[in-house]
Every structure is written in structure tokens, then in C-alpha cells.
Amino acid sequence: MAAPVPPLLSRPGEIAALADEVRAAGRLALDTEFVWERTYRPMLGVVQVATETTTAVIDALAGRDLSALFPVLTDPGVTVVLHGGGQDLEIFTHLMGEPVRGVADTQVMAAFLGHGLQVGLTVLAERVLRVTLRKDQTYTDWTRRPLRPEQLVYAREDVIHLLSIYDRLRHELAERGRLGWVEEEMRELEAPGRFSGLPLEERYRTVKGWQRLAPKELAVLRALAAWRERAAEHANLRPQFLVNEIVLTTLAARPVSRVEELRHVRGLSSGTVDRHGRAIVAAIREGVECPPERWPALPPRVRRKTPPPGLTGLLRAAVQTVAEREDIAPEVIASTRDIEALAGVAGDGDAAALADVPVAHGWRRALVGERLLAISRGEIAMRYDPVRRAVVSEPFDRNPSGGG
């Protein structure tokens, strides 16, 4: 039996009626389909919404008014279920001017139940519900109209099972005492600054190779990067397609003063020079004329103490042991970077140095962070127990009786 084709909503009244249904239900499944190859921001094609009783696809192309959905998406009392929803959250944060609230990401939830760090929806639906999802429209163009019935059916399948998956995962998380851990992670997805871009005057820090330039050159790069960002947004074009990073650093190191000189810069097309040459030269002049007291500072040298030989491997083994015991991907507990950062500072007793190390905070600290800190301080020893066939940790007596 063919799957039903969901309605395609496009009128404000239809979207408002859907929003009312969502509020009454108290939760929704949400997904988007977009195209983002060259444009400054994703070109949103459709938005899919499902409750227990309703599934609809919203035509989001050409500036459709989606504002009727915003109050339910920003209401912390309405649960918004997504799967791997980082880009969806970023899109709506930009549209609404504030983050989505009540977020529940089934990909994050699944990571706490042994499904791996980034399990796909198709795999998760098969494992949890024994449902097979079609993925034959993955690379379709969601900005072409009219949309075909098979596209609408595909879009529907991306949300129709999400609430059931969410319920199953939440039940299992509650049984295993991990709901608090997951909710801590979800609140991070709602952080107001998570999807906010860098201020224009700091965009130069995203240009590859900026650290190798002198302060005077950085002043030029700062002006060029700010110009590129403004021009790219105005042209609705990804910044690197306007002027690439090698050109920016080249002009910062060897600034020019006339438009004609730009025609000899490798990587700048004649069309780009014709359209933007005067603005580029003006940005270079702004940077060159910047007084020294306003030059950007050189990046600070990060001088972390080199961990004692073997400590990083020991901490990694401790994380792996806990991950296997709890059936959680070790990367969810602590990344390699986290482990290396902790190993570099944990023995110093400097709490401030641990401020940016996730494994030293929240549920991660309770689960394994305290043990990692104790290992780093020499308070716990690790060994393999052949009887239990497991790696175990035990208090370490630094002053055994009878010692010399």
C-alpha cells in the first residue's frame, strides 16, 4: 500500500492552524529540507512537522511567512524533537532571532544508549522501531517547484516516526538513570550564543593562516575579512566563493593601493575586480591607515604543560573502561582533545585551567571526571584484574608502611 501524500501548506492561515494543533499536543517532531551549496545561508525548501495526529509539510520557499510557528518553537513547555538537528536549529535561530527551546535530539539521546556518536535516523528507526525508511530523495532539489508526490512522502517519513523513537529512547534513558545527563546536553543546544556568528571585526580569525601575520598585516586582514562578510551576505554567496582565503592573506601581507594592481593578484577573477575592486582597495586602505594602538593583538601562545609520559594513554584507558561499562561511545564522555587538555593541567590544582574542559564538569565529572583527576594526582592506580577480566582502579598508598 502506497504511503499517503501529506498536505503541502503554504498559506499563513494553514500554518497558524498547524501551530495551534502543535500547542494543543504539547510537542512536535521537526525537520527541514534545504539546499546550501553556494548561498550565504541555507535556502530553506520545506519544513516538516508531525504530532501524534497530524503530519504536514510546509512550503518554506521564497520567503514564506513561518512566524506562526515561532511561539511554539520558543516555548520551553513545548518539546521539539529532532534528529541530528544542529543545522535545523541554526536555521530557525536565524529566522526567529532567538534559539529554539524544549529541544530533544534523538541522535544525542541515542549516543547515551550505545548507538554510537552520530547514528543516522534510518539506522536508528530500524534498531528501535524495526521500521525501514526510504532515502531515495536525499539529494533532491528542494527549491524546485512543483514538488513531486514522492518528495512529499520522503519528507513526511523524516518526522513521522520521530516521536515514537523519542518515547522509546526516553523510557530507556529513564530506566538507566541517564535522563539528567541527556537533559544537560540538550540545554547546551539551546544556548543563546551557540549559533551567533562572530562580530565583523573578529571575522579575520576564521581566515586560515591569520596567526602567521604581523599585527600591522592583521589590521588589513581584519578590514578585508569584514568587507568580504558584508559583501557575501549582500550577494547571498558563501564568502569563499567571493574571495578565497589565500587572496585575503596575500593582500594583507602585500597590500595594493590601486584597482589595476588587483588584476595581477592570483585567484582574483577580472569579474570580481570589476565588481568589487574599489571596495577591496578601500578595505585595504582602511587597514593600512589603522593606527598601531588599534592593530589586532597576536594570538597568545598556548603553553600547556606537557603531560607526564603515558598519562594521556592512562586517562584514555579509564574513559574507555567506563564507556564500555556504561555502553556509551567514549567520545560522548570525553574527546581526545578533552583528555589531552585535562592531562596537561589536572596535576596543577588550578581549577581555572579546567574551566573549558567538559569532562571536569556536570554529569561527566560525576561519571569519570573525578577518577581522571585522581589518576592525574597519583591518588588512584589502574591495573588489569585477570579474575574479573577487567581494568580496575584502586586507591594508591603513596606511603606504604615499612617504606624507606
pTM, entire model: 0.84
DSSP 54-109: -EEEEE--SS---GGGHHHHT-TTSEEEESS-HHHHHHHHHHHSS---SEEEHHHH
Closest by CA to 367, choosing from 116, 185, 124, is 185
pLDDT at residue 73 greater than cutoff 70: yes
**How far apart are alpha carbons 18 and 4 in whole angstroms?**
18
Model confidence band, residue 346 (pLDDT cutoffs 50, 70, 90): low
> Residue 306: inside a domain, yes or no?
no
Are residues 55 and 26 both part of a single domain?
yes
> Residue 150: inside a domain, yes or no?
yes
Are residues 130 and 234 both part of a single domain?
no
What is the mean predicted confidence (pLDDT) over 127-141? 82
Burial of 175 (0-12, 13-18, 19+ CB in 10 A): exposed
> Residue 195: inside a domain, yes or no?
no
Say whether 394 sits in a helix, a strand or coil. strand
Share of the chain above pLDDT 70, in %: 92
What is the mean predicted confidence (pLDDT) over 374-402? 75
Are residues 37 and 155 both part of a single domain?
yes
Domain end residue (candidates: 154, 189, 224) = 189
Residue 391 parent element (H or E): strand 390-395
**How far apart are alpha carbons 233 and 82 in whole angstroms?**
28
Domain end residue (candidates: 121, 155, 189) = 189
> Residue 404: inside a domain, yes or no?
no
Are residues 30 and 82 both part of a single domain?
yes
Q: What is the pLDDT of residue 309?
A: 75
Closest by CA to 391, choosing from 318, 290, 283, 331, is 318
Model confidence band, residue 404 (pLDDT cutoffs 50, 70, 90): very low
Are residues 283 and 336 both part of a single domain?
no
Domain end residue (candidates: 131, 154, 189) = 189
Model confidence band, residue 141 (pLDDT cutoffs 50, 70, 90): confident
Model confidence band, residue 350 (pLDDT cutoffs 50, 70, 90): low
User: How do beta strands 27-35 and 79-82 pair?
Assistant: parallel
**How far apart are alpha carbons 249 and 364 in whole angstroms?**
40
**How far apart are alpha carbons 278 and 153 in whole angstroms?**
50
Q: What is the pLDDT of residue 110?
A: 96
pLDDT at residue 64 greater than cutoff 90: no
Say whether 3 sits in a helix, a strand or coil. coil
Are residues 209 and 81 both part of a single domain?
no
**Cβ(169)–Cβ(163) below 8 Å:** no
Q: What is the pLDDT of residue 377?
A: 83
- pLDDT, one tens digit per residue, over 146-167 is 999 999 999 999 999 999 999 9
What is the mean predicted confidence (pLDDT) over 84-94? 94
Domain count for the chain, please give it: 3
**How far apart are alpha carbons 122 and 128 in whole angstroms?**
10
Q: What is the CATH number of the domain that holds 163?
A: 3.30.420.10
Are residues 109 and 25 both part of a single domain?
yes
| DSSP H stretches of helix in 267-401 | 270-288, 311-326, 330-333, 336-345, 362-364, 370-376
Exposure b/e, 78-101, CB count within 10 A at least 16 = b = bbbbbbbbeebbbbbbebbeebbb
Are residues 143 and 15 both part of a single domain?
yes
> Residue 120: inside a domain, yes or no?
yes
Are residues 12 and 132 both part of a single domain?
yes
Instruction: Read off the amino acid at residue 33.
Output: E
The mean pLDDT value of the chain amounts to: 89
pLDDT at residue 398 greater than cutoff 80: no
Are residues 288 and 315 both part of a single domain?
no
Expressed as residue numbers, the domain containing 82 is 8-189
> Residue 400: inside a domain, yes or no?
no
- pLDDT, one tens digit per residue, over 172-230 is 999 999 999 999 999 999 988 888 778 999 999 999 999 999 999 999 999 999 999 99
> Residue 71: inside a domain, yes or no?
yes
Q: What is the pLDDT of residue 399?
A: 62
**Cβ(88)–Cβ(31) below 8 Å:** yes
Are residues 234 and 273 both part of a single domain?
yes
Are residues 170 and 212 both part of a single domain?
no
Coarse DSSP helix, strand, coil percentages of the chain, rounded to the nearest 5 percent: 50, 10, 40
Model confidence band, residue 233 (pLDDT cutoffs 50, 70, 90): very high
Position with higher pLDDT, 367 vs 344: 367
Position with higher pLDDT, 173 vs 355: 173
> Residue 37: inside a domain, yes or no?
yes
